[in-house]
Amino acid sequence: MAPSGSRSIKRSCQTVLYWIPVIFITLIVAWSYYAYVVQLCIESIDNIGQKIVYLLAYHVVFILFTWAYWQTIFTKPMNPLKEFHLSYSDKELLEREDRGESQQEILRRIAKDLPIYTRTMSGAIRFCDRCQLVKPDRCHHCSVCDKCILKMDHHCPWVNNCVGFSNYKFFMLFLAYSLLYCIFITATDLQYFIKFWTAEGRTHDRLLEYLNGLPDTQAKFHIMFLFFAASMFSVSLASLFVYHCWLVCKNRSTLEAVRAPAFRHGADKNGFSLGLSKNFRQVFGDEMRYWPFPVYSSLGDGCSFPTCLVNQDPEQPTSPGHNPTPNKTVVGESHQFPAKPLRESQSRLLNSAPSWTENGGAEDKERRGTSNPAMAIENET
């Protein structure tokens, strides 16, 4: 009982510690709301029209920012489906084998009917010992969450959550709206910040007013500190947002930018890149009306992804009567996994304008004119 109780206390302490960055950001945002709405707009701005415009614009940005932050924090990361987990008999068989090559033979047999194309750097099947599963493409094990996360980008302490397939769009919008929030505050607060420094009267007089606790001085203090905080956050958020925009354009995760995914032919940093438009739509979806809002609209299932590779994986089975295509993005032709029709938006992503293939364009056009064979997993979220 003692070890179990000790572990429980340790987990509780870790949970509290993990939430500290989120609480810190929440307090900063709550203070910024008070400083901007009450101290700047209500107390300091005399022009009624300007006050209304500032308050309306501020609340629009504030709502979108907090909505995206909430979604990023509380959207659970997606884990691999049960098809990727080892059965009880496979686990026993794997445990009995003490040679690495024999274990790889077992894993290759298990992965044969799964839409898996990436390998380890040594060419082996990617397997998670802790979760006891064959890792889907772009899936990684998070040491903080102690789970395998689909299309894991990174574990972010500021949201106390893994950023992955299920919430990457929310994370991008969180960065965008938090940057817009800080820039808006900086721009609208600037003239009043300047007035504070150029106000008539000596510094000694302002200090005396501050010590006396006059409301006017209190408002000026909030305006000054609000400008500094918003400016500093703008710089850091801008660099992070630009970096993740580059990742979206290249269809890479942070982990893949550090280490390129390995396929049977070797590492390929552009293996999942389909071109700017398709890369963007994988994260934000096909329907433009959903792009600005933190609602789920990403394409795919998180377990399989189209690639720009032109060589068919020889380990993947070919259906009877099926002519192999040079582009192995249409994973459903080789795998009945499971036999569910692809969503229309996903089907367009996989089969429209194959700009990501390097050759065989005429043959692909003729084949697309006669059939639409794409089958894949339906979105589980």
Task: Compute the distance between CA of residue 79 and CA of residue 106 in angstroms, rounded to an integer.
Answer: 22
Task: Compute the distance between CA of residue 336 and CA of residue 66 in angstroms, rounded to an integer.
Answer: 41
Token output for 381: 């979220």
* CA-based R_g, the chain, Å: 26
Query: Which ranges of the chain does DSSP label H, i.e. alpha helix?
Result: 2-33, 48-74, 88-96, 100-111, 168-198, 203-211, 215-250, 254-258, 276-284, 344-351, 361-370
Residues assigned a catalytic role = 156
What is Dmax (Cα atoms) for the chain? 89
Token output for 125: 């099947």
Look at the block and give the residue holding tokens 């009995």. Answer: 96
Look at the block and give the residue holding tokens 């400016």. Answer: 231
CB 177 within 8 A of CB 211: no
Q: Among residues 256, 295, 303, which one has the least CA distance to residue 148? A: 303
Cα distances (Å, whole numbers) of residue 155 to 14, 206, 256, 334:
15, 46, 14, 33
